[in-house]
Structure 1
Amino acid sequence: MKWNPQDIETFLQSKEYVDTAVLPLLPVAFDSEMGQAAGMSEFITLVTGQLERQFKGRLLLLPGFSYLKTCEEEKLFTDLLLWESQLKESGFSHIFYLTSDLFWKSAESRLDGSLIWIPSIPLETMQEAQKISVVESQVKQMLTLFTGKWHEKE
């Protein structure tokens, strides 16, 4: 389910079946890393959109957690841990963070949720059909990861 009024209405009616939240981590930069950050954000947005289509009814895709690459590390964690706390209090037993920013890998142990780091694939030169194929391939690789995490807590 996506973060839109129609899907949220469905979510509220069937909340007991939706135990998974997906939060894309989207970097923003205004320096020499601007293009790279935009590419990472585009890629993760496409991957999480396809992931939501695969698991519609089981997960809620949240709007991306956008952050400045220049932001102080502790502030980023404080903000993200606040999201995590709210999601747990709201009944989500599985929280997945998806990112292409290697920064988050170094701090994975600080999160209770599952961090999935996917190297960004430059999509800007690809035809639309190629983009879809690449994204679908990435999502197929993640399916077993998601189902594995779900079975761990059952």
Structure 2
Amino acid sequence: MKWQATEMDTYLKEKEYVDTALITLTPISWEKDVKQTVAMGEFISIIALEVEKQFHGRVIQFPEFSYLKKEDRTSRIDRMKSWEEELKAGGIKHLIYLTSDSDWKIVEDELGGMLVWLPTLPLEHMDSEYKRDVVKDQMKQLIPIMTNKWRE
């Protein structure tokens, strides 16, 4: 389910089945590596949309967690902990973070959910059919990871 009012009507009726928050971790930088940073966010947003489609009814795709690349890691993690507390208090059992920013791998153990890091693939010059194939290939790898997490 997406972060939309119409989707929340469904959620409120079926909330016992919706137990997973999907959150993209999206960096922002306007000083250096702007294009690469934007590509990270664009790529991971496309993947998140596809995950939401695949697991509609089990997953809620929350708004992105955006942060400045130069933001202190401790500050980022503190803000993330606030999100985690809010979501878990509201009944979310599983948190899945999607990112293309490898900085999160360093602090992965400090997160209260599963981090999935995918390297950014340059989609901007691909035709739409090839983009779909690339996303489909990523999903083939991601689906088993998520279903295994739910079995734990």
Q: TM-score, length-normalised on structure 1?
A: 0.96
* Counterpart for residue 28 of structure 1: 28
Partners of 1:108 and 1:73 in 2: CA distance: 11
Partners of 1:102 and 1:89 in 2: CA distance: 29
* Counterpart for residue 62 of structure 2: 62
User: What does residue range 7-86 of structure 1 map to in structure 2 within 5 Å?
Assistant: 7-86=7-86
Partners of 1:119 and 1:76 in 2: CA distance: 21
* Counterpart for residue 95 of structure 2: 95
Please tell me the residue identity of whatever aligns with 1:16: E
* Counterpart for residue 147 of structure 2: 147
CA deviation after TM superposition for structure 1 residue 135, in Å: 1.0
* Counterpart for residue 3 of structure 2: 3
Task: Count residues with an aligned counterpart.
Answer: 152
Partners of 2:58 and 2:73 in 1: CA distance: 32
Partners of 1:84 and 1:133 in 2: CA distance: 33
Structure 2 stretches of 5 or more lacking a match?
A: none
Please tell me the residue identity of whatever aligns with 2:100: S
Partners of 1:43 and 1:125 in 2: CA distance: 13
* Counterpart for residue 108 of structure 2: 108
* SS at 1:16 equivalent: coil
Q: Percent identity?
A: 41
Please tell me the residue identity of whatever aligns with 2:111: L
* 1:47 and 1:136 in contact (8 A); partners too: no
CA deviation after TM superposition for structure 1 residue 32, in Å: 2.0
Partners of 2:112 and 2:123 in 1: CA distance: 31
Q: TM-score, length-normalised on structure 2?
A: 0.98
* SS at 2:141 equivalent: helix
CA deviation after TM superposition for structure 1 residue 139, in Å: 1.3
Q: CA RMSD in A?
A: 0.7
Partners of 1:30 and 1:46 in 2: CA distance: 22
CA deviation after TM superposition for structure 1 residue 38, in Å: 0.3
